[in-house]
Amino acid sequence: MALFSLIVSLIIAGLVAVTLATSHSYKFGATTSLACLAVGVFFCPALGAFFPPVGLTALGLLIACSLLAARSFRPTSRQIALVSVAMVFVGMAGGVLFSLDYVLHLRDLRAAYPLVSVASRLEYEHRPTPNSVPAAVVAVMADGGAKFGPPPQNAPAWKALAIAEEKQTRWGSRLRALEAIHASIVGQFVDAPGFGIARMSYVNEFALKERRESPGSLRGTNEKYPPTERPDALRGTPLTATRPTDTHSPFEGRLWDIHESGLNDFFSQEDEGLLIDRDHVAGFVSHRFSKEFPPRPTSTPLKWELVRLELASLRRFGRPMVYATNRELPRMDQLEKMPTREPSAFEAAALGSLAEGEEIVYLQRGHCVLAMGALRAQANCTKCHEVRRGALLGAFSYEFLGNATPAGDAPSAKPPI
């Protein structure tokens, strides 16, 4: 806005300077200044009233030319240049004065929402692996080319990851506010409302506050996992588009809605705040779910109820572990208090499929469906997590209960793992 105001102010000063040079009379310069002021204030407010430096420049030129005309001075080249430059300076200085209170307001907000480090939350990424963990598990957990690193090059996970990244709208109101309060002083003045339309750029504390409400509890379940050492055949859902096609079963459509909504809600951009690197983060809120999850069915009746959603951690413990939240949805700021358990036979097999590049796999047992969906590192995640894009950061473990046997809804089974 400051640049726009400066350009328009220079144009007005140039018009007045040309008038003075050709007419050799300050009266004509005053008339031109008055015309510019009238256009800016009455006919085109964007050039005057909404951009104070422009109006101040025109007003200053009007006053200066009127005073010089009253003394019957004839404009010289030096006087024309001096008056023009001086009035542009007066106009821009007025914009600075109008903006001063706003910049001081941003300084107070910057103190309330400072840049901090989140490295302590990710210390486990550097934590030595316990001696009790077998060497085979250590090899699996290493990121470089390992099981839970980026999937194979042609895996469907890459397409799904690209779609998820394209959906990111990196200009949420909270992010814009955080960027404004942590901009340089020069940048804050340049974009300050004192140089332009105030309602478009003013930052208030409301834009920075957390406004997402906590979710309710799920029904939960006490049922045991299938007591088999080797699970039944897993079924993969080829969900590599933004919405399932007609070839997907009703259950797969519901599963896709749940997982897509869960990813967007758990990794909300509003909670992410301003992220420069892991040592410079402002306004970050721990990953969590809100009352927007789970989504309501859109086109199909509710045949499948989500009764449990738990987070599988792949890196914190040196081996895969599951936070046993059961009825409660996972919150990263509360997981330290949550008990953990070993992955079930289904979850262990499903993690293998996710590592190979699947996005969602599930297992049916009568009226119960178990599923796992991948949590992969998007490009922005690598600013804090020391992993490569596409690596598995974790997984969501789901349990659904249905009011009908799901066999008729399911696609052909994949070969057993």
Amino acid, res. 155:
A
Phi and psi angles of residue 88, each rounded to the nearest 5 degrees, phi first? -65, -40
pLDDT value of position 322: 94
pLDDT value of position 19: 92
* 109: enclosing H helix or E strand: helix 77-112
Structure tokens at 140: 């699996």
Residues 6+ apart with CB under 8 A from 357: 151, 152, 154, 155, 156, 157, 158
Residue with tokens 């256009």: 39
Residue with tokens 């906590």: 214
Amino acid, res. 103:
V
pLDDT value of position 141: 46
Structure tokens at 223: 């049922």
* 249: enclosing H helix or E strand: none
pLDDT value of position 137: 40
Per-position pLDDT tens, the chain of length 417: 788 888 888 999 999 999 999 998 999 999 999 888 887 666 555 555 567 888 888 889 999 999 998 888 888 899 999 999 999 999 999 889 988 988 999 999 999 999 998 888 777 766 554 544 444 344 444 443 356 888 888 887 888 788 777 776 555 678 888 888 998 888 888 888 888 765 456 787 877 888 788 888 898 876 655 544 455 566 665 443 334 444 456 777 778 888 988 988 998 877 888 888 888 999 888 899 998 888 876 655 557 788 999 999 988 888 899 999 888 999 998 888 889 999 988 898 889 889 888 888 888 877 888 899 999 988 888 888 888 888 999 999 999 887 654 444 443 333 333
pLDDT value of position 86: 94
Q: Give which of 383, 377, 312, 322 is closest to 149, Cα–Cα.
A: 377
pLDDT value of position 213: 87
Q: Give which of 90, 259, 271 is closest to 175, Cα–Cα.
A: 271
pLDDT value of position 410: 43
How many Å is the maximal CA-CA distance in the chain? 104
Residues 6+ apart with CB under 8 A from 230: 345, 349, 416
Q: What's the predicted TM-score (pTM) here?
A: 0.72
Structure tokens at 173: 């109101």
* 272: enclosing H helix or E strand: helix 269-272
Angle between helices 2-23 and 26-38 (to 10 degrees): 150
DSSP state of 40: I
